[in-house]
Amino acid sequence: MSLVRPVLLLTLCATLAGCGGLRESRLNPFNWFGRSEPREALVLPEKARDPRPLVEAVVGLTVEPLPGGAIVRARGLAPTQGYWAAELVEAETGQDGVLVYEFRILPPTGPADVNTPQSREIDVAVFVSDFKLGSVREVVVQGATNARSARR
């Protein structure tokens, strides 16, 4: 009887220590996509489906897992203040496993100030279902001068 307690305690400690590896595991949905990093811009078809111009630069990208999918959030830097109607528009690339979004915005209707970079930042997001993410290994958001990507 006195030997049962130490063995049970040792087994319990070993089991709990093994659970610590789940944080870095691919089974943890919070590890599905890593931090974003700069990426070469992709060559997209000449004729865009959306007439709005691309944001000048993509300065941030995160892929946040949710039940049933993930939210792709991007932050772009416009050349001046006043840009509006921002949207991530899915682009056709022909590359398997790469989900590409173009960061599209409408320019201001009148004169606009340049001001600070923070005042020209625009945030946009899109929900992507688990079904669509099933075969995706990289998410890319493209602007006019650069692109950012997050990989599994």
What does DSSP say about strands 138-142 and 98-106: parallel, antiparallel, or unpaired?
parallel
Tokens matching residue 117 = 């970079």
pLDDT in tens, 110-134: 988 888 999 999 999 999 999 999 8
Residue 49 scores a pLDDT above 60: yes
pLDDT recorded at residue 86? 96
- Collect all residues with Cβ–Cβ distance below 8 Å to 89 and sequence separation of at least 6: 49, 50, 101, 102, 104
Residue 36 scores a pLDDT above 90: no
Q: What is the pTM of this model?
A: 0.73
Residue 143 scores a pLDDT above 70: yes
In angstroms, the CA 100 to CA 42 distance is 9
Phi, psi angles (nearest 5°) of residue 119 = -75, -10
Q: In whole numbers, what is the pLDDT of the chain averaged over residues?
A: 83
Beta carbons of 102 and 50 less than 8 angstroms apart: yes
